[in-house]
Structure 1
């Protein structure tokens, strides 16, 4: 684009409903981001804002709602897990999006001494353990950059996807 043809206009705010509709047309994978509070209470939330950042060192980012108990646990502990959900984990995605305080009581999860937070091995096709490398507040969310320290693949299922306000499985080819 020729710079001489670029117009400068006063910035106007895009209504959040328009932005939400636009982003719903961009399908993405579905994850549960999980961490433990300093007292050991598990916290977690469904998240579709996950992105790779760098290969060396392996780094990803997640965007978490400012003020959420999950974000508070991530910041307090300095670590978190990214549970990439598989095609049959829609109910878990919906549960962790609901804010139900009993979600960890009704969902199988595991935590080992080496893990960065709760693992959902029955519901995730891949799990990444991360150490917080950087955080940045933007609007009503905080971007958390995580240095990936371990990856596990509990099963070989396909990813769960979300777009156009609906869940679907990765299409298979025959």
Structure 2
């Protein structure tokens, strides 16, 4: 599946959350195994994101992947920038979504290509920092400063 939102919950222990449609077969597979992987795609991974968002039944046959050494889930070796293997520690049903909390067991960096971003129904690559701009935080899309940074 393609998840457009992943959230860091805790640094100690490192924990992520993802929301998965409650009726999703992917949710059932993750809960049954007790693990999942978050593949953070690189800028050239858009086609992979769209493939997994489509729900095509044979999508794993259309991409290169390998099993995780720590049991977290499939690693999309040609499309992922970084992969976090997670152990499910809790799930919470909210409306039609199951919020899945996963303790991060292992992080694997697979590519140096900049990460793929998705927002406002558009894809983009993470921009290269300009000289001297590493400290700057860009404003929100409407031009206002990010709260707490002014």
TM-score tier (shorter):
0.7 to 0.9
Partner of 2:25: 69
Structure 1's unaligned 5+ residue stretches are 1-44
SS of residue matched to 1:46? coil
Q: CA deviation at 1:146?
A: 0.1
Once the two structures are overlaid, the 10-residue window that deviates more, 104-113 or 89-98, is 104-113
- SS of the aligned residue for 1:47 comes to coil
Supply the distance in 2 between the matched residues of 1:104 and 1:48 (Cα, whole angstroms). 19
- Report the structure, 1 or 2, having the larger helix content: 1
Instruction: Provide Cα deviations, 1:96-149, integer angstroms capped at 9, x if missing partner.
Output: 000101100011000144231111121111101100000000011110000000
Q: Which residue of 2 aligns with 1:114?
A: 70
Count of matched residue positions in the alignment of Structure 1 and Structure 2: 130
Query: Which residue matches 2:129?
Result: 173
Give 1:161 deviation, angstroms.
0.8
Could you say what the CA RMSD is over the residues aligned between the two structures, in angstroms? Answer: 1.0
2:46 aligns with 90
Q: CA deviation at 1:67?
A: 0.8
Aligned partners of 1:112, 1:143: CA distance in 2, in Å? 22
Q: Given the two structures, how large is their TM-score scaled by the length of structure 1? A: 0.72
2:93 corresponds to 1:137: yes
Q: In the aligned structure 1, how far is the partner of 2:13 from the partner of 2:7?
A: 14
Is it true that 1:57 corresponds to 2:13 in the alignment? yes
Per the normalisation by structure 2, the TM-score is: 0.83
Consecutive aligned runs of 4 or more in structure 1 exceeding 6 Å deviation: none
